[in-house]
Amino acid sequence: MDFSAVQNRQQAFIEERGWQDFQTPKNLVMALMVESAELQEIFQWLTPEESWQVRDKPGVLEHVGEEAADILLYLLHLCRQLNIDLEQAVNDKMQKNAVKYPLGSS
């Protein structure tokens, strides 16, 4: 996935609707958490086994995908607003995790 292309498309969507004033880091983090809670709600009362069965339920799986997309879109927009290169941040974090959790440590 080309994060930059998604961010550009998202920025155009926001500008076309005049929503720029609402795109503060605080608001984006709050919206991101709301979307995360909506994803959590889908799984809230499922057993571990039932949560795996979501893969076999097209309507529920579509809902999960929509909430996951909302989360990613808010995260990408937050990163754009704060000038965070998400791809670099992910690579840096994975390197830190490799040092923090070396092979054979668990």
Question: Average pLDDT, stretch 38-50?
Answer: 98
Side-chain-side CA neighbours of 10 within 13 Å: the count stands at 19
Asked if residue 52 is part of any domain, the answer here is yes
Range of the domain at 48: 23-82
Asked if residue 29 is part of any domain, the answer here is yes
Q: Which of 102, 78, 62, 91 is closest to 27 using CA atoms? A: 78
Query: How many structural domains compose the chain?
Result: 1
- What percentage of the chain exceeds 90 in pLDDT? 96
* CA angle 51–56–62, rounded 5-degree value: 85
Mean pLDDT of the chain: 97
Question: Average pLDDT, stretch 37-44?
Answer: 98
Asked if residue 18 is part of any domain, the answer here is no
Residue 106 has pLDDT above 80, yes or no: no
pLDDT digits 0-9 by tens, 48-86: 999 999 999 999 999 999 999 999 999 999 999 999 999
CATH code of the domain covering residue 78: 1.10.287.1080
Q: Are 8 and 91 in contact (CB under 8 A)?
A: no
Asked if residue 77 is part of any domain, the answer here is yes
